[in-house]
A and B are shown apart, each in its own frame.
Chain A
Amino acid sequence: MAEVLLTADSLGVGFNQPLFAPLGFSLFAGELVCLVGPNGAGKSTLFRTLAGLISPMSGKVTLCEKTLEDYSARERSKLLALVFTAESIPSGMTVEEFVALGRIPFTSFFDHRTKEDYAAVAMALRDADVESFASRELCALSDGERSRVFLARALAGHARVLLLDESTAFLDVPHTLALFRLLLRVAREQNIAVFLSTHNIDYALRFAHRILALDGSGNACIGPVNTVVNNGFLTWAEIGINEKE
């Protein structure tokens, strides 16, 4: 049995009212789990809760055998990296500088970088296959290149759990395929848990080890691809959601 990296116990997330029924699941080392669901189902909110940016409404999250609340922000960010949908992109920042920001949880008061930091950045650039344009500017990249750079930033911090919020948005077919393959490889080689929220359900079904599906009306289901499909948790993707006035 693979190592458990993150566990949610009857976790309820949301702001004023829970977005879906309390949820229990674990993420294991070496696996790619995809989070699918219609817009507004609570995918981003779930990620932000798992990352400790929002407090859970109920239940708790355990990260590497310790409750999330017991971590300092810095210790937490060493174990878990969150990649956002639309990180605002400053011009004038190179790929390498951006990826080096992933080392911020490790740097000292004046943001001094050690040899170790530089080595980690170089390795992340290589693992995410962005070495060839490391000195280019972030805002001059294509969406496909940028999605890999965001991944490299997360890898540079050697986090055990990666949460990627809709990293496949804006990508064409070859880049989506490449990113899924890259995520699978990274999960296996670095023995980490990769949790990706995506609207590319077809690729999620094809590549993910497990699926966490939200149906948009308060129900959630996690399991291997077949279980989720057979339980009817993807009908919203096939026949649409019944609009209720």
Chain B
Amino acid sequence: MRHPVLGLVVLFFLVLLFAGGTLFWGPTDISFQRVWSALFFPGSDVSATQILWELRMPRVFAGLFAGASLGLSGLVLQSVFRNPLAGPFVLGVSSGASLGVALVLLAGFGRGSLGILSAAAMGAFGVIFLVLFCSKFLEHSVSLLIVGLMLGYLIDAMVSLLMYFSDAESLRGFVTWGMGSFSRLTLSETPRFAGVFFVGFALILAGIRYLNVVRLGDAFAESLGIAVRPYRLIVLAGASLLATGATVYCGPISFLGLAVPHLAYGIFRSSNHRVLIPACALLGALLALMAGWITEIPLNAVTSLLGVPVVLWVLLASRHRRSGGVRG
């Protein structure tokens, strides 16, 4: 794209539009005026205020932060591992976070949302550094995906075991969490989700120079004077933190992390992370808000139903136009 800033501005307004749409239209039919008054004069209309501030507003934030988080996390993982198929779900990072959540919800380690958050973060960090460790012994990036998938299966098996031995009550809570939803976030949890997001985002921003050269290899980056090890640690910590936040507050969402970066490459035709980072954040938020609009169907089904055709179209169209390959 010749004018990436213009594209980003358009995306930003689309995100605003869908955020507004989520506020004004929902499963419960409330008139525009009532939502308006509930938004700016909360309390004047009790039922509208309740629906707006307790149901719709958190859903907007959940979609915004979860979508942006997963898009950014996928971008960083694809760049660092030089693999177009990498993503928080494929590499087992989301599974690691799920294990943390399962340990708290099912096995009763720790309590409350802070306990879940730290347990999930530890799970995600654990997996990503295991993958990183394994990547040192692997020549092919395909083998890396297999390692990630294997770790994912192993962790899912552990979670199944935990589910088998837990009581019905906690099991129900865990299963609904596992379906993935933007409706479970409460307004009081939102600042914490936002905090996790912004810390992860800041860590990734700190690694822009590294991310821009890492696709050409570690030796190349070092010859350009970039200290590979600390930067890799920083951006991977950021990526796992973002995946953790999204997983804890919205459940394991499988599709966005893998797909959003490809949308960004296809639309912006850039390999510069100064463009790709905001693009992935906005595109992720946009897709999540679109998917979150349909509240009756499980989120994972919607993201895939909505996203797969879009990604395929972008990939095929761009391949046709530049006769290049998928980024790798």
Chain A residues proximal to chain B, CB less than 8 Å: 48, 51, 53, 72-78, 81-82, 84, 87-94, 97-98, 101-102, 104-105, 107, 109-112, 137, 139-140, 157
Contact = CB atoms under 8 A, between A and B. Distances in A.
18 contacts: A48-B219, A53-B222, A73-B222, A73-B226, A76-B225, A77-B225, A82-B223, A88-B82, A90-B271, A91-B326, A91-B328, A92-B327, A104-B212, A110-B208, A110-B274, A111-B272, A137-B322, A139-B325
A101 B265 contact: no
Contact of A53 (B212, B216, B223, B323): B223
Interface string B194-215: 0000000000011011001101
B225 A101 contact: no
B226 A93 contact: no
Interface core residue of B206, B219, B273, B326 (most chain A CB under 10 Å) = B219
Contact of B225 (A105, A109, A110): A105
A109 B209 contact: yes
B224 interface: yes
Contacts of B271: 90, 92-94, 97
Contacts of B226: 73-74, 104
Nearest to B323: A140
A74 B328 CA distance: 27
Contact of A77 (B215, B224, B324): B224
Contacts, number: 93
Interface string B228-250: 00000000000000000000000
A139 B322 CA distance: 11
A48 to B, nearest CB: 8
Contact of B205 (A51, A76, A110, A137): A110
A111 B222 CA distance: 16
Interface core residue of B205, B223, B224, B323 (most chain A CB under 10 Å) = B223
A91 to B, nearest CB: 4
B271 to A, nearest CB: 4
A137 B324 CA distance: 7
Contact of A104 (B224, B270, B323, B325): B224
A81 B223 CA distance: 7
A87 B273 CA distance: 20
B273 A111 contact: yes
Contact of B223 (A77, A89, A110, A140): A77
B208 A140 contact: no
Contacts of B269: 92
A75 B225 CA distance: 7
Contacts of A84: 217, 219-220, 223
A74 B265 CA distance: 29
A109 B210 CA distance: 10
Contact of B215 (A90, A105, A110): A90
B234 to A, nearest CB: 12
A82 B227 CA distance: 16
Nearest to A97: B271
B18 to A, nearest CB: 27
A137 B325 CA distance: 10
Contacts of A73: 222, 225-227
Given A90-B82, A91-B327, A157-B224, 9 more contacts: A48-B219, A53-B222, A74-B226, A77-B223, A78-B225, A88-B216, A98-B216, A105-B224, A111-B209
Interface core residue of A75, A89, A90, A98 (most chain B CB under 10 Å) = A90
A92 B227 CA distance: 25
Contacts of A101: 212-213, 216, 224
A111 B274 contact: yes
Contacts of B223: 51, 53, 77, 81-82, 84
